[in-house]
């Protein structure tokens, strides 16, 4: 005899059913912006079971793939299978099926896949411009009035000087309206190097911004910030640390932030950063504006001399009464290495040479990785130092390639999930591209693309971290204009900081977040305005993303990276020549994920052997 009626079994049956759904529903994590037609393609699968089918827009299965064995990825605590679908080479939009069930229908294959995100991430710098109104013709619905137009700025006592200086222009650092020399350093270098490596590609690429004179868009944008940086140099050559209000502004548009601005601090790290950036700018702007280029070079030399004479003027924290970002630094030796390296490349003067390189990827407080790029890409000039720099780059790049073979198929490990983790992912991709430039080995290129895949959706949060792009992207970034402009969508093209478990923004104040941490670094994130520790945006985070997207596009369009040589040995050619109209000797080219030399219409590999 039945002890219970049927009704009593219903909750149990529902619970069993939902358990079945939870444990067996597979999820596919993809690059939501897309994959390149002729290249390697991979997505991640969690809770999959058996083979995967990819179907075209008509529902026809076009590829059946066998996922890899599952492996554990520590940062998210998941067992993950990787699905290689490189064999699918027809542009289009596809769906992914497991066991006949459609998991998602937004899988895209295209050519020029990252051109739009490259342009958008570069255009974001225009949206960050201080002291200028954004016209509708360029900014669309994100048009706004000019902010911070008052040129005369008070020197804070922490500068060791008094009075005022004239300072306008520059990019707002992040979600706040501060302008900081140190963070401008790595950002501006990264964007300058993108141009310097691919000048022919960027001479014609445009993204609808007001461009000064005949400058390509990329150089016009960078100049807006260089002009501001130049205002931050004191007459003795030293460079002020930052230009901000005393406290972070409220949630207002730039034009409504009327708090008095101050020039605060003067630092060795900021001064060396400035010197390195100006040394690169001198090379890059020379073909367009020789007098601006020599102004930059003189500023660089003067800053470097001040840095040598003031080796420990470190900005260790805010002076009393100031609470804006610190970009504190107690060891400016890596900034000196960067500055000396770039000054040596620009001048050929051996007194600028500084020994050393590193195997660590750069961030705003560690510029030796960037000096390592400079040395490794100038083998003739740096000799044994260049060889060591190259070894450092390859050692780390090999480790990255290895890490991306399992788990989520991403490079990052648990330690990489710090404040601005997405910039670590992007900078790792940039590092891999340098390994690729130095060897022509396509495994480095393919792994750099995996960094893009991670940032654009192949991650355990299943989201594209670039505002406005991908199926699911941040809607509530910590970015004052996006919060206060009355436009529903955030300003496009911004890479948010990304997941990390620090929880610095968690608290009980009205402006703080409630706890969003999951116990796992790669999923500790909240798409909420409160979250300055995971959902802010910043110029130094967008820059490596823009480099990665822009360089991948340039390489895939057939442009090989160029590295400026000594001005004494090779004159910088007056530029703006498209590659199709260039007639010259052997040319380094890139196609089918391979670097080769083209000479008289014939192709040779990097060892000089003829290839088809
Ligand atoms: O990017 C910076 C990060 O590495 C630091 O941990 C954090 C706290 O000091 O500050 C970040 O930089 C912020 C800066 O101080 C002010 N503008 C916003 C920046 C991004 O959050």
308-355: per-residue pLDDT in tens? Answer: 999 999 999 999 999 999 999 999 999 999 999 999 999 999 999 999
Q: Is residue 11 part of a domain?
A: yes
Nearest atom in ligand 1 to 176's CA: 17
For tokens 């990819």, name the residue: 54
> Is the domain of 183 the same as that of 303?
yes
Question: For residue 571, what pLDDT band results from cuts at 50, 70 and 90?
Answer: very low
pLDDT (average), residues 511-521: 98
Mean pLDDT over the full length of the chain:
92
The residue contributing the CA closest to ligand 1 atom 13 is 325
In this structure, are strands 101-110 and 35-36 parallel, antiparallel, or unpaired?
parallel
**What does DSSP assign to residue 533?**
T
Using the predicted structure, report yes or no on whether residue 248 has a pLDDT greater than 90. Answer: yes
Same domain, 180 and 150: yes
Per-residue pLDDT tens digits for 73-108: 999 999 999 999 999 999 999 999 999 999 999 999
Owning domain of residue 53: 6-112+577-604
Do 101 and 208 share a domain, yes or no?
no
Q: Relative to the CA of 502, which ligand 1 atom is closest?
A: 6
What confidence score (pLDDT) does residue 233 get? 98
List beta partners, residue 134: 144
Locate 188 and state its tokens: 């501006």
152 or 572, higher pLDDT: 152
Span 365-389, pLDDT tens digits: 999 999 999 999 999 999 999 999 9
On the question of pLDDT at 568 being above 50, the answer is no
Task: Please tell me the predicted confidence (pLDDT) of residue 109.
Answer: 98
* 143 and 251 share one domain: yes
- Distance in Å, CA 325 to ligand 1 centroid: 6
Tell me the pLDDT band of 598, cut-offs 50, 70 and 90.
low
362 assigned to some structural domain: no
pLDDT in tens, 177-223: 999 999 999 999 999 999 999 999 999 999 999 988 889 999 999 99
Of ligand 1's atoms, which has the minimum distance to the CA of residue 541? Answer: 1
Q: Are residues 218 and 158 in the same domain?
A: yes
161 and 247 housed in the same domain: yes
Among 33-47, 247-261, 540-554, 557-571, the least confident range: 557-571
Q: How far is the CA of 364 from the centre of ligand 1 (A)?
A: 10
Q: How far is CA 376 from CA 181, 182, 394, 574, in A?
A: 26, 23, 10, 25
d(CA 370, CA 383): 17
Considering the domain boundaries, does residue 203 fall inside one? yes
What is residue 212's predicted lDDT score, i.e. its pLDDT?
Answer: 82
Task: Name the residue at shortest CA distance from atom 3 of ligand 1.
Answer: 419
Q: Which residue in the block uniquely carries the two structure tokens 């520790």?
A: 533
Q: What is the pLDDT of residue 25?
A: 87
65 and 200 share one domain: no
566: left (phi over 0), alpha (psi -120 to 50) or beta: beta
- Which is nearest to 375 in space by CA: 346, 348, 341? 341
86 plus 150 within the same structural domain: no
Q: What is the pLDDT of residue 213?
A: 84
The CA 324 to ligand 1 mean position distance, Å, reads: 9
State whether 236 and 172 are in the same domain. Answer: yes
- Beta-bridge partner residues of 165: 153
User: Is the pLDDT confidence value at 563 over 80?
Assistant: yes
DSSP H or E stretch at residue 284: helix 268-285
**What pLDDT is stored for residue 5 in this prediction?**
43
Q: Look at residue 54 and tell me whether its pLDDT is greater than 50.
A: yes
Identify whether 361 is part of a domain.
no
Question: What are the tens digits of pLDDT across the range 574-588?
Answer: 222 233 333 345 656
- Closest residue to atom 4 of ligand 1, CA basis: 419
Nearest ligand 1 atom to the CA of 326 is: 15
CATH number of the domain residue 100 falls in: 2.60.40.10
Residue 586: inside a domain? yes
Sorting pLDDT into bands at 50, 70 and 90, what band is 249? very high
What pLDDT band is residue 565 in, cutting at 50, 70 and 90? low
Asked if pLDDT for residue 499 goes beyond 50, the answer is yes
Count other C-beta atoms under 10 Å from residue 382's C-beta: 21
pLDDT score, position 489: 98
pLDDT of the residue at 597: 67
Query: pLDDT tens for residues 297-307?
Result: 999 999 999 99
Supply the residues annotated as catalytic. Answer: 176, 478, 527, 536
Residue predicted with more confidence, 6 or 309: 309
Domains in the chain, number: 2
| Cα separation, 183 vs 370, whole angstroms | 14
Ligand 1 site residues (CB inside 6 A) read 173-174, 176, 178, 325-326, 419-420, 532, 536, 538
Q: What confidence score (pLDDT) does residue 214 get?
A: 87
CA distances from 353 to 118, 267, 337, 341 (A): 34, 21, 8, 6
Residues 181 and 210 reside in one and the same domain:
yes
The answer to which of 216-225, 471-480, 600-609 has the lowest mean pLDDT is 600-609
| Lowest mean per-residue pLDDT among 128-132, 269-273, 577-581 | 577-581
Classified as helix, coil or strand, 264 is strand
Close Cβ partners of 290 (under 8 Å, ≥ 6 residues apart): none
Question: Which residue, 331, 352, 371, sits at the end of a domain?
Answer: 331
Rounded (10°) angle between helices 384-403 and 421-439: 120
- Ligand 1 center–CA 383 separation, angstroms: 37
The reply to whether 92 and 156 lie within a common domain is no
User: Which of 130, 170, 419 gets mutated to test ligand 1 (max ligand atoms within 8 A of its CB)?
Assistant: 419
Residue where a domain terminates, one of 331, 365, 392: 331
Res. 291: pLDDT tops 70 = yes
Which protein residue has the closest C-alpha to ligand 1 atom 6?
A: 419
pTM (two decimals): 0.91
% the chain with pLDDT above 70 = 88
pLDDT confidence of residue 240: 98
End position of a domain, from candidates 331, 364, 380: 331
Mention every residue, 6+ apart, whose C-beta is less than 8 A from residue 77. 519, 520
Let me know if residue 247 belongs to a domain: yes
Q: Compare 4 and 220 and report the one with higher pLDDT.
A: 220
Length of the chain: 612
User: Quick one: tokens of 233?
Assistant: 């140099």
Q: Are residues 262 and 153 in the same domain?
A: yes
Question: Is 65 within 8 Å of 83 (Cβ atoms)?
Answer: yes
Residue 256 lies in a domain: yes
Answer whether residue 506 is part of any domain: no
Instruction: State in Å: Cα 585 to ligand 1 middle.
Output: 47
Nearby residues of 504 by Cβ (< 8 Å), 6 or more positions away: 419, 532, 533
Cα dist from 407 to 96, 97, 109, 480, whole Å: 20, 21, 23, 36
Q: How far apart are CA 199 and CA 35, in angstroms?
A: 25
Pocket test for ligand 1, best of 420, 503, 504, 505 (most atoms within 8 A of CB): 420
The three-state secondary structure class of 144 is strand
Q: How far is the CA of 458 from the centre of ligand 1 (A)?
A: 25
Judged against a pLDDT cut of 70, whether residue 1 lies above it is answered with no
CATH code for the domain in which residue 227 is found: 1.50.10.10
Residue 425, CA distances (Å) to 179, 431, 545 in order: 24, 10, 9
């Amino acid at each position: 005899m039945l002890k219970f009626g049927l009704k009593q079994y219903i909750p149990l049956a529902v619970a069993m059913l939902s358990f079945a759904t939870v444990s067996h529903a597979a999820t596919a994590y993809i690059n939501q912006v897309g994959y390149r037609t002729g290249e390697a393609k991979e997505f991640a699968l969690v809770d999959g079971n058996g083979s995967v089918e990819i179907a075209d827009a008509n529902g026809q299965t076009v590829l059946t793939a066998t996922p890899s064995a599952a492996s554990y990825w520590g940062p998210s605590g998941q067992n993950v299978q990787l699905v290689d679908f490189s064999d699918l080479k027809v542009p289009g939009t596809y769906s992914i099926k497991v066991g006949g069930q459609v998991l998602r229908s937004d899988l895209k294959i295209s050519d020029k896949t990252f051109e739009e995100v490259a342009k958008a991430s570069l255009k974001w710098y225009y949206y960050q411009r201080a002291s200028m109104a954004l016209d509708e013709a360029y900014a669309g619905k994100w048009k706004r009035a000019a902010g911070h137009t008052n040129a005369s700025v008070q020197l804070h006592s922490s500068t060791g000087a008094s009075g005022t200086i004239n300072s306008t222009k520059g990019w707002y650092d992040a979600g706040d309206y501060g302008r900081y020399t140190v963070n401008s350093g790595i950002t501006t270098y990264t964007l300058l190097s993108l141009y310097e490596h691919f000048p022919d590609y960027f001479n014609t690429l445009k993204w609808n911004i007001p461009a000064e004179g005949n400058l390509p868009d990329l150089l016009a944008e960078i100049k807006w910030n260089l002009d501001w940086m130049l205002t931050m140099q004191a007459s003795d050559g030293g460079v002020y640390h930052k230009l901000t209000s005393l406290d972070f502004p409220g949630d207002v548009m730039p034009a409504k932030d009327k708090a008095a601005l101050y020039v605060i601090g003067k630092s060795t790290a900021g001064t060396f950063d400035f010197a390195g950036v100006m040394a690169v700018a001198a090379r890059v702007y020379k073909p367009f504006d020789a007098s601006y280029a020599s102004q930059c070079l003189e500023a660089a030399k003067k800053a470097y001399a001040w840095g040598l004479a003031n080796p420990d003027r470190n900005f260790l924290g805010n002076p009393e009464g100031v609470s804006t970002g610190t970009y504190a630094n107690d060891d400016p030796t890596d900034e000196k290495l960067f500055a000396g390296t770039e000054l040596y490349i620009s001048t050929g003067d051996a007194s600028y040479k500084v020994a050393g390189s590193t195997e660590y990827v750069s961030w705003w407080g560690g510029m030796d990785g960037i000096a390592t790029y400079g040395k490794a890409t100038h083998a003739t000039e740096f000799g044994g130092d260049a060889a060591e720099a190259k070894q450092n780059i390859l050692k780390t790049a090999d480790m990255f390639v290895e890490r991306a073979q399992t788990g989520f198929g991403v490079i990052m490990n648990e330690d990489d999930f710090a404040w601005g983790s997405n910039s670590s992912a992007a900078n790792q991709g940039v590092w891999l591209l340098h390994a690729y430039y130095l060897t022509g080995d396509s495994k480095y290129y393919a792994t750099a693309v995996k960094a893009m895949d991670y940032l654009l959706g192949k991650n355990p949060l299943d989201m594209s971290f670039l505002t406005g792009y991908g199926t699911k992207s941040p809607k509530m970034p910590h970015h004052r204009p996006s919060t206060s402009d009355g436009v529903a969508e955030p300003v496009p093209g911004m890479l948010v900081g990304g997941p990390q478990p620090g929880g610095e923004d968690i608290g009980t104040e009205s402006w703080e977040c409630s706890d969003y941490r999951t116990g796992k670094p790669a999923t500790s994130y909240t798409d909420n305005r409160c979250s300055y520790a995971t959902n802010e945006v910043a110029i130094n985070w967008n820059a490596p993303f823009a480099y990665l997207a822009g360089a991948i596009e340039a390489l895939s369009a057939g442009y090989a990276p160029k590295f400026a040589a000594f001005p004494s040995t090779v004159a910088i050619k007056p530029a703006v020549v498209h590659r199709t109209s260039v007639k010259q000797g052997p040319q380094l080219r890139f196609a089918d994920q391979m670097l080769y030399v083209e000479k008289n219409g014939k192709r040779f590999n990097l060892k000089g052997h003829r290839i088809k």
